[in-house]
Structure 1
Amino acid sequence: MTVAVSGASGNIGGGVASLLAGAGTPTTLLTRDPGRVPDLPGATVARGGFGDPALVDALTGADTFFMVSATETADRADLQCAAVDAAVRAGVRRIVYVSFVGAAPDCTFTFGRDHWHTEQAVRDSGLAFTFLRDNLYLDLMPGMIGADDVIRGPAGHGRAAMVARADVVAVAAAVLGTDRHDGRTLNLTGPAALSLADVADALTAALGRPIRYHRETLDEAYASRAGFGAPDWEVDGWVSSYTAIANGELAQVSGDVRRVLHREPAGIDEVFPPLADL
């Protein structure tokens, strides 16, 4: 069984490709830039990105397509649906797709809508599938800290069951090694739903300097991001990631990581251990 892996130069795709290589699973690393993918035993490299006509040839011969969602663009849903069509034309048997928790055509987090459209394309394709619906990544929380050590966003007092990327990688590799999860949607979360105040407290303890959370209004959120020069659709995505927290759409804690890995998922203190524990 050969697994075609997209996003192999990134954290999720690269991590999964490494675990598959360690298990002796043949892989095809899909890329637009062969110089960026890891050198792994049993892996071949094929040029082909989402929306690229070469993707059909790149996927040919693969049993499974591990489809890591693309970087956000205005046409991401169309590109990902085209990638699903390429998998069908290439004769792929199943797709394991990295989606987002609560994906729906009208979910608050606007980027989550792309995931729903992609999931529907996979379902309509007739291929076997597993959807890995990830929560927000715990590892990315330091990137939310401003230059003044403040996390700003209109998340109110809401919570999100954030997940460690290492757990997503481990679950994906386990799912790819069996057909036991075909037809299932797995919600990948951490062990607890955290407020951004909780995140600020944990990062304070881990970084050794005071981090605080400021609850922005919606108007403040758009104003504070206006200077980045990003298009409206991208700013909407940034802001709506916080309002989805405020609305409670990311708060549900799932046991799917534990059910697949037979251990508890990592919490924020494991991803960012307090300095006092080091």
Structure 2
Amino acid sequence: MRIARFAAGGDPQFGIVELAEDGGRHPGTVSVLTGDPIAMPVQLTGERQELAAVRLLAPVIPRSKVVGVGRNYAAHAAELGNEVPTTPLTFYKPNTSVVGPGDAIVYPRASHEVSFEGELAVVIGRICKEVPESRAAEVIFGYTVANDVTARDLQKSDGQWARAKGSDTFCPLGPWITTHQSLDEVADLSIRTTLDGDLRQDGRTSAMVNSIPALIAYISSYTTLLPGDVILTGTPEGVGAMLPGQQVSIEIEGIGTLTNHVTSDADDHADSTRDPEATS
């Protein structure tokens, strides 16, 4: 099942996306739900929208936190001259960094080297703490595509990653959340990133150093995870810089494709594409 968050001329809504590949009776549509399926029981309203006629938003309202994982693919660690850490290397991206599919990734004024990092993201579905690996599946609501955008020059100069990975627009998510997939099914998916149509990343989730259950167990050992929290599971090799005017797309097998454009016009972005509920 694909759960999307969208706007169709009014307040943001959630719905179930049906695609032609699903073989259903209403391909290319969104069946509207009564509320937020991560936070509450929901029902179908009976209303249906054409997918092409709505604006897809970030599929998660990040009320709490986004937890990133660095150097979780050995080849990516090596391409930047880093060792693979002995325990997961985690960091936070603020909820103000989250944008949706089609939104702009804005160069901060302090940076001249902003990079893409295509990643599989895990969406948490329940309050949990100290989750054993054997029970990780019980706390997962679903999966989406993420771009862990990074200002590489600020990452090098600051000595910590708050600005480099936490700037506004630096966490695109989407296009929807896929649910009802087992951990075995997501353990070996293709991740492909293109920049203006040119293939830059071509990896598989099976190359993760720490598995999804291991990451959930580690992160929940030190912080309580809440419904709607997002875990970014790391990026394969091939990361690189994006320039204003370019377009980046990340496709994860069985999940979806997330596309965003890059801009240096922060004022235009703030006026036209900010999700009104992104910080709620």
TM-score, normalised by the number of residues in structure 1:
0.28
More helix by share: 1
For CA contacts below 8 A with separation 6 or more, give which structure has more relative contact order.
Answer: 2
Q: Kindly indicate which of the two structures has a greater share of residues assigned to strand.
A: 2
Q: Which has the larger radius of gyration?
A: 1
